[in-house]
Amino acid sequence: MELLGSAILILARWDVVAALLVGSVGGVIIGAIPGVGAAVAIAILLPATFSLDPIVGLSALLGIYGSSMYGGAIPAILINTPGTAVNALTTYEGTPMTERGEARRALSLAYSASFYGAVFSIVCLILLSPVLAWIAPMFGSREIFLAALLGVILVVLAHRGQILLAGMMAGFGIWLNTIGLETLQYSQRYTFGQTWLSGGVDLIVVVLGLFAISQAFVLLVEPDKRAHAEPITGGLLSGFKELAVYKRVAAASGSFGVMMGMIPGVGEFTAQFLSYTYAQKTSKTPEAFGKGSPEGLIASETANNAVPAAAMIPLLALGIPGEALTAMMLSVFYVHNVIPGPGLFQNQLDFVVAIYLALLVLNVLVLVFLLFSTNILLKVIEIPTRFIGMAVLTLSFVGVYSLRNSAIDCAMAAGFGILGFIMKRFSLPIVPVILGMVLGGIMENKLRTSMMRVKTPFDFVDRPIAFLLFLIIIIVLASHALGLWRGFRSARESGR
């Protein structure tokens, strides 16, 4: 109870409450605007959070992260255009329901399923806290290095059909992190005699360029669009009653979301696919899927909203982000010298619990806001896309310049923006670049620290957790190689 009271005191500040309110409401609004998404919003807001207390900045970012998918369901259901990429599956069932006059029912189901998935994930996170607090101190430099390496491998392998490209992008991100003055021996790396490269390539500059500025370019070059949706009449709470009818699907989808959220590089898309497939295969009416099935809508929205809280598990316990958004949040920790990992659970457990409570509060705020403001949000859908693109571009450069008051940073961000635009045009994976930068830095630091105590290669895996992580890496790579071999053999046999 003392720990809970301490966590409540951390949250019971006007600036934390304001950050939660702004983040949660802002996340819903941003999610409802097709073509923007949480990654762009967090990238733009990130520089401003560096001047705030850690809990204030993280509350705002968590608000956007956790609420954007709520808002993304609105255009996905009403105009067949997902507000965020992870709401794409919602269009399969939401749009047919709207076409047959059940828009209110579809939105109500989406809100209730999203809220259930988020709360389910937060409860799992809270229940896992004692286990994390017990396991986290067992992770030393070797274990964290192997966990980060496993994260890079999983991120790459998650890009099915683009594994080679994803590996190259991750390597590019790792290389970007090495540029500049090396802190141990103070040697210059890849600066080529250019003094402006001595400070290295800032992660936030790359994030704003690859995500925000590139998306602004996409919105500006595409034809201007203005969507229109009919207002919703009636209450939106009936979805909770219908959710109870499909409680098996909701529970399974929430579980998939938690499991996939904990694994680096997997995230919402895999959780949705597994949940949707499970719901369809176990449904009494599988033929209704794709034609407005409430089970399919529940599976999709429950799974994707269960991921954000679960994704905080590797971030808080080991300091290892699982995807781009948590990688951005990691920078907020580092700026304020709050280092996620084993020490956080040992020394600042009240801070960890405060984050859990913040996640819970923001979902309540989002639900209340949506119940009363859905029709107002329909006006957001009508904003012209080129106006949004110009606003994103302007805010991005303001954010970059505010980092170090440097025109060079703006030029670098513009360069990465052009690179990101090209990558999006050719459907190249962007997320591995960011995770490569973050995880590459962790791997380098932990490898250097651990090598001082390692005499032979076997010493690196002579502890139980290190050996277990090494074994998992071998199994993951062997399983993937076996899958490739089977695919190659079946293709060769079918070609005969």
Q: How is 140-171 classified by DSSP, letter by letter?
A: -HHHHHHHHHHHHHHHHHTSTT-HHHHHHHHH
Distance CA 427, CA 352 (A): 37
How far CA 5 is from CA of 119, 124, 346, 482, in Å, comes to 20, 20, 17, 52
For residue 227, the model assigns a pLDDT of: 63
The beta-carbon contacts of 313-317 under 8 Å, at least 24 apart in sequence, are 313/125, 313/128, 313/132, 313/261, 313/262, 314/147, 314/151, 314/262, 314/264, 315/340, 316/132, 316/340, 316/344, 316/345, 316/352, 316/355, 317/132, 317/135, 317/136, 317/341, 317/342, 317/345
pLDDT at 129: 73
Taking the C-alpha atoms of residue 156 and residue 432, their distance in angstroms, rounded to an integer, is: 7
pLDDT tens digits for range 416-469: 999 999 998 888 888 888 888 888 888 888 888 888 777 777 778 888 888 888
Q: What is the pLDDT of residue 171?
A: 92
pLDDT, tens digit (0-9, with 9 covering 90-100), for 281-306: 888 888 888 788 888 888 888 888 88
pLDDT of residue 231: 66
- φ/ψ (deg, to 5) at 428: -90, 145
What residue type is assigned to position 462 of the chain?
Answer: D
Over the Cα atoms of the chain, what is R_g? 23
Q: Which helix (H) or strand (E) holds 189?
A: strand 188-189
What is the reported pLDDT for 266? 64
447-452: Cβ within 8 A, 24+ apart: 447/141, 447/145, 448/184, 449/141, 450/140, 450/141, 450/142, 450/145
User: Under 8 Å CB-to-CB from 287, ≥6 apart: which residues?
Assistant: none
With tokens 């400070």, the residue in question is 199
pLDDT number for residue 422: 93
Nearest-angstrom CA–CA distance, 31 and 25 = 10
Q: Which residues contact 462 (CB under 8 A, 6 or more apart)?
A: none
CA distance 65 to 40: 11
CA angle 429, 431, 432 (to 5 degrees): 80
* pTM value > 0.85: no
Q: Please report the pLDDT score of residue 230 as a whole number.
A: 67
Whole-number Å distance between alpha carbons of 77 and 97: 8
CA contacts within 13 A on the Cβ side of 437: 24
pLDDT score at 226: 66
Burial (0-12, 13-18, 19+ Cβ within 10 Å), 475 = exposed
DSSP H helical ranges for 283-384: 294-318, 324-335, 342-347, 349-381
Domain boundaries, the chain: 2-138+180-427
Q: What token pair was written down for 257?
A: 């979301």
Tokens 């029709």 locate to 375
- Judged on CB neighbours under 10 Å (0-12, 13-18, 19+), 2 is exposed
Query: How far is CA 434 from each of CA 48, 151, 208, 348, 440, rounded to the nearest angstrom?
Result: 19, 13, 11, 27, 10
Three-point CA angle 219, 39, 95, nearest 5° = 70
**Coil, helix or strand at residue 65:** helix
- Lookup result for tokens 């630091």: 445
The pLDDT value given to residue 236: 66
- Burial group, residue 213, by CB count within 10 angstroms (0-12, 13-18, 19+): buried
| Torsion-angle region of 101 (φ positive above 0: left; ψ -120 to 50: alpha; else: beta) | left
**Residues in the chain, pLDDT under 70:** 1, 3, 35, 85, 226-236, 264-267, 322, 495-496
